[in-house]
Amino acid sequence: MDILDIKATNDTPRVIFDPESDIFEISGRSLPEDVVSFYQPVIDWLDEYSRLPNEKTEFVFKYIYFNTATSKLIQDILIRLEQIYETGNDVVVIWYYEQDDEDMMDLGEEFKEYVDIPFELVPF
């Protein structure tokens, strides 16, 4: 499966999905003008990956900030990860947030409640 590698900009996060290296990470700021267009390749890649996922998928979110429209797409990503988990694969979500960023920590807590998969919140 091809690597998905989207470089970060001022308004979009870095996305790197490399199943051979066990890297699945979205990091940075997410304020794209057209959030659906930006995240569609991410959703499409995860749909393809879900057909033959790794035995273990450790998925990292390391957002500094994201807008409300992005939160819907995060939910879509989590749903796909939950589907992979439900087929018997080992999936864990790791939600990094800056130590003093209570808002991002609270958002992580909300997303954790949204899905039934292992979900860790980690300050950095």
pLDDT of residue 90: 98
pTM above 0.85, yes or no: yes
Mean pLDDT of the 15-38 span: 98
Task: Give, as one character, the DSSP assignment of residue 3.
Answer: P
Mean pLDDT of the 85-96 span: 98
pLDDT of residue 87: 96
Domain residue extents for the chain: 4-123
Token digits of residue 96: 């990094």
* Whole-number average pLDDT of the chain: 97
pLDDT of residue 92: 98
Task: Give, as one character, the DSSP assignment of residue 2.
Answer: P
Q: Answer positive or negative: Cα dihedral of 18, 19, 20, 25.
A: positive
- Percentage with pLDDT > 90 across the chain: 99
- Percentage with pLDDT > 70 across the chain: 100
